[in-house]
Structure 1
Amino acid sequence: MDEEAITIKLTRDQAFVLSDWLYRVMFRSDDLQGIIDDRAVWSPVYAISGTLDKTLSEIFMPDYGPRLEAAKERLRADLYGGADQPTTPDQDPTDAPQAHQIERGTVGNHGESDPGQ
C-alpha cells in the first residue's frame, strides 16, 4: 500500500483551537469510546495532536485562556460573519451555508489539504 504523506494546512488560530479540542477529547473526556469508536482513528489523531503540540508555542503561554478565546472568536467571525452562534447537527443547513460547505471542503481558504506534492 502507498504510504504517501498528506499535508494539511491550517491557520494558527485553527491549529490552536483544534489542539485544545484534541487535548480535551483525548485527556479529559470520560467518553472516549463514544467520541472515537474505531481504534484505528487514534493513529492519525495522535499524529495530528503531537504535531500541533510541537508547533504551537501558545499552549505553553501563561495567557493560554484569553488567547484561545480570541482565536475562537476570530474563527467564529470568519465562519459566521461575526455571529457567535455555532450550528448544531439538527439545524437547517441554510442557516450557516459557509460552515456546512467548509465541512465538505467546498468553500473558502479555511484550511487546505495538499496530497504531498
Structure 2
Amino acid sequence: MTLKIRIVDGSAPYEQVRAQISEQARSGALPVGYRLPTVRGLAERLGLAANTVAKAYRALETDGVIETRGRNGTFVAAAGSAAEREAAGAAAAYAERVRRLGLSEAQASAAARDALRAAYGE
C-alpha cells in the first residue's frame, strides 16, 4: 500500500488517506481481504495524528470499503457491491423524495446531474 499526503494539496489529510485507500481498493491494488496497517502504525508512517487516520478509517468503513474485525484488524472489504448497494439505496430515497415534491423526471434528473457535477468538481 502506497499513500502520499500532500499538505499543499488543499484537501484535508484524512480525506487524502480516505481517497487513496478507496481508489486502491477499487482498482484492485489493494485486494479484497488485504489487512490494513493499524491506525497508529499508519499514522506514524505518514507523520499524521492517529485521530486523522482513525477518521479516514471510519469514513472508509461507512462507505463499505473496509471492515474492522475487532482485534483481528482492519481489512479491505468487497467494496464494489457494498458501494453499489448503498448508491442504489440513496438513489431510491432520492427518487421517492422528488416524486413527493412533485418534480418531473426531467427536473429530478437535472438536479441529480448538477449535484454529481458539483461533487466531482466539474
TM-score (norm 1): 0.27
Structure with greater helix share of residues:
2
- More relative contact order, 1 or 2 (CA 8 Å, 6+ apart): 1
Please say which structure displays the higher CA radius of gyration. Answer: 2
